[in-house]
Chain A
Amino acid sequence: MSDQPSVSPKVSCKGVDVFYGDQQVIHNVSMDIADRAVTAFIGPSGCGKSTFLRCINRMNDTIEGARVEGLVEIDGENVNAQGIDPVTIRSRVGMVFQKPNPFPKSIYDNVAYGPRIHGLVRDQMDLDEIVERSLVRAGLWDEVSDRLDSPGTSLSSGQQQRLCIARAIAVGPEIILMDEPCSALDPIATARIEALIDDLRQRFCIVVITHSMQQAARVSQTTAFFHDGRLIEHGETEMIFTNPADTRTQDYITGRFG
């Protein structure tokens, strides 16, 4: 349950369709996503979770042949409106992927990269502060503060994933999208990321795609179940996992044939 129920949604989608060429993979999805809360997207592989997620930060723009229709709003502002710069959108919406993908640079530079290119800093002190704060918030500072010059790739995969989270939050986003952020991690690293997600929701609007029902149950307050490009059910996580309304949701989360 979210601690402070927010009044208006952070993200609001209305009648979203997505096509790859002439193949439609997202059908008429409407959904509000709350601020300062974690929303989990669940559903079988290929149902369109990643595609829909990418509508929020206009990442589908970068995919050949992808076309998005319908309305996607952040704080009531249409992200696809003319004159909106996708780069601005992407600085407001951070993204973390399944496989940790640090740049082949030092730990410091991985985190400093975003603030530098977005021109968010005046001087070195400013930058040092952002890097430290981001690493602290990502729960990594204590483990790396004495080796900020080491390559990001020298970290364990769990640490790399937290580095990617630090990199995402360094540019001061409002929304963080995570596409299966723990699927490549062991249980301890996964627990760390989950604790971090729970921590971050005090400040951010977070959407997590996961194939682990237990993870969705542990980290999210709201869960959305997708099937065949459609949003089947969307509601309080507690309800979805104790008493889902739709039999397709029920069959999926209990491991039954559809």
Chain B
Amino acid sequence: MSDHIVSAFSGELEGLSADLLRMGGLTEAMITDACSAVTTSNRPLAKTVVEQDKTVDALEADIEKRITRLLALRQPLASDLRTVLAAFKVSSDLERIGDLSKNIARRTLDLDPAESIESLKGVPRMGRAVSLQLQAVLDAYSRNDAEQAKRVWAADDDIDQHYNSLFRETLTYMMEDPRTISAGAHLMFIAKNLERIGDHCTNIAEVIFYQVTGEYMPADERPKTPLIGA
């Protein structure tokens, strides 16, 4: 697409998208670090994640301010309007992803390493799957790739299946050995948080699809596994 006659406007839109990608990169690392911290009882790493969440919050607040200004002063229309609205929603989804990662990291501080539970080993695997979803959707965002966004969106079902199997496995351990109940409860929350992060990735995918095509993703086409305990 050609540039705006007012080139500062193009610059502002590009700046917005660059900062969102930076925010996305940060949250992506937070997911991985939070999962790693919680499975290896790495408290310093957990604290880093908690700290990083403040940076993500500040980025979101700044992006929101700039979007408000852009709406008031530039009054964007058509694809520009969609771009700005998308940025607004993506930044709020990323902020939520940051929060959820922080929640996961915090459990490191509450989990007694002596009371560990075998199924905790499943956390990094699910964390990796979720973080790959985020990576893929940010990639779609940076390339304005509606098809890629649709793939991410469809792949959320894998995350849901991950969640169900981790939930089932943890429940089995908890029933067999009551000493794992406390750790198991933490684990179920962690799995739920990761599942929620997956949902935010699909939100972002829907937003990208709308931004690029001007149309809404057909809601009924997505494969959907019912969640246990949901």
B72 to chain A, nearest CB (A): 12
On whether the beta carbons of B78 and A255 are closer than 8 Å, the reply is no
Q: B73 — which chain A residues lie within 8 A by C-beta?
A: none
CB-contacts of A199-258 with B (<8 A): 213-214, 217, 240-244, 249-251, 253-257
A123 to chain B, nearest CB (A): 51
Q: A174 vs B1: C-alpha distance in the bound complex, in angstroms?
A: 42
Q: B1 — which chain A residues lie within 8 A by C-beta?
A: 250, 256
B111 to chain A, nearest CB (A): 48
On whether the beta carbons of A243 and B76 are closer than 8 Å, the reply is no
Within 8 Å by CB of A253, from B3, B78, B214, lies B78
CB-contacts of B67-92 with A (<8 A): 75-82
CB closest chain-B residue, reference A258: B2
Choose, from B4-12, B43-51, B56-64, B148-156, the stretch at the interface: B4-12
CB closest chain-A residue, reference B10: A256
On whether the beta carbons of B5 and A255 are closer than 8 Å, the reply is yes
Q: A76 vs B85: C-alpha distance in the bound complex, in angstroms?
A: 43
A243 with B78, Cβ < 8 A, contacts A254-B4, A256-B5, A257-B2 known: yes
Q: A114 vs B77: C-alpha distance in the bound complex, in angstroms?
A: 41
Q: A243 vs B82: C-alpha distance in the bound complex, in angstroms?
A: 9
CB closest chain-B residue, reference A213: B77
Within 8 Å by CB of A256, from B3, B82, B214, lies B3
A242 with B2, Cβ < 8 A, contacts A254-B76, A255-B9 known: no
For residue B215, CB closer than 8 A to chain A, the reply is: yes
Chain A at the B interface: mostly helix, strand, loop or mixed? helix
Q: B81 — which chain A residues lie within 8 A by C-beta?
A: 241-242
CB closest chain-A residue, reference B82: A242
Q: A203 vs B81: C-alpha distance in the bound complex, in angstroms?
A: 33
Q: A240 vs B78: C-alpha distance in the bound complex, in angstroms?
A: 7
Within 8 Å by CB of B4, from A242, A244, A255, lies A255
On whether the beta carbons of A241 and B78 are closer than 8 Å, the reply is yes
A84 to chain B, nearest CB (A): 40
Q: Mark B104-115, 1 if CB is under 8 A from A, else 0.
A: 000000000000
Q: Mark B1-42, 1 if CB is under 8 A from A, else 0.
A: 111111001000000000000000000000000000000000
Q: A257 vs B6: C-alpha distance in the bound complex, in angstroms?
A: 10
Q: A250 — which chain B residues lie within 8 A by C-beta?
A: 1, 78-79
Q: A249 vs B78: C-alpha distance in the bound complex, in angstroms?
A: 9
On whether the beta carbons of B9 and A242 are closer than 8 Å, the reply is no
Q: B80 — which chain A residues lie within 8 A by C-beta?
A: 254
Q: B3 — which chain A residues lie within 8 A by C-beta?
A: 256-257
On whether the beta carbons of B78 and A242 are closer than 8 Å, the reply is yes
Q: A242 — which chain B residues lie within 8 A by C-beta?
A: 77-78, 81-82, 214
B20 to chain A, nearest CB (A): 20
On whether the beta carbons of B214 and A254 are closer than 8 Å, the reply is no
B81 to chain A, nearest CB (A): 6
A8 to chain B, nearest CB (A): 30
On whether the beta carbons of B5 and A214 are closer than 8 Å, the reply is no
Q: B76 — which chain A residues lie within 8 A by C-beta?
A: 254
On whether the beta carbons of B6 and A254 are closer than 8 Å, the reply is no
B146 to chain A, nearest CB (A): 13
Q: A243 — which chain B residues lie within 8 A by C-beta?
A: 78, 82, 214-215
A254 with B79, Cβ < 8 A, contacts A242-B214, A243-B214, A243-B215 known: yes
Q: A213 vs B77: C-alpha distance in the bound complex, in angstroms?
A: 9
Q: A172 vs B215: C-alpha distance in the bound complex, in angstroms?
A: 43
Q: A214 — which chain B residues lie within 8 A by C-beta?
A: 75
A241 with B77, Cβ < 8 A, contacts A254-B4, A256-B1, A256-B5 known: yes
Q: A257 — which chain B residues lie within 8 A by C-beta?
A: 2-3, 5
Q: A239 vs B9: C-alpha distance in the bound complex, in angstroms?
A: 23
- Residues of A participating in the B interface, judged by any CB pair closer than 8 Å: 213-214, 217, 240-244, 249-251, 253-257
- Residues of B participating in the A interface, judged by any CB pair closer than 8 Å: 1-6, 9, 75-82, 214-215
22 sampled A-B residue pairs with Cβ under 8 A: A213-B77, A240-B78, A241-B78, A241-B81, A242-B77, A242-B81, A243-B78, A243-B82, A243-B214, A244-B78, A251-B2, A253-B78, A254-B76, A254-B78, A254-B80, A255-B4, A256-B3, A256-B4, A256-B5, A257-B2, A257-B3, A257-B5
For the complex with contacts A242-B77, A254-B79, A255-B4, 4 further pairs of A-B residues with Cβ separation under 8 Å are A217-B77, A243-B214, A255-B6, A256-B1
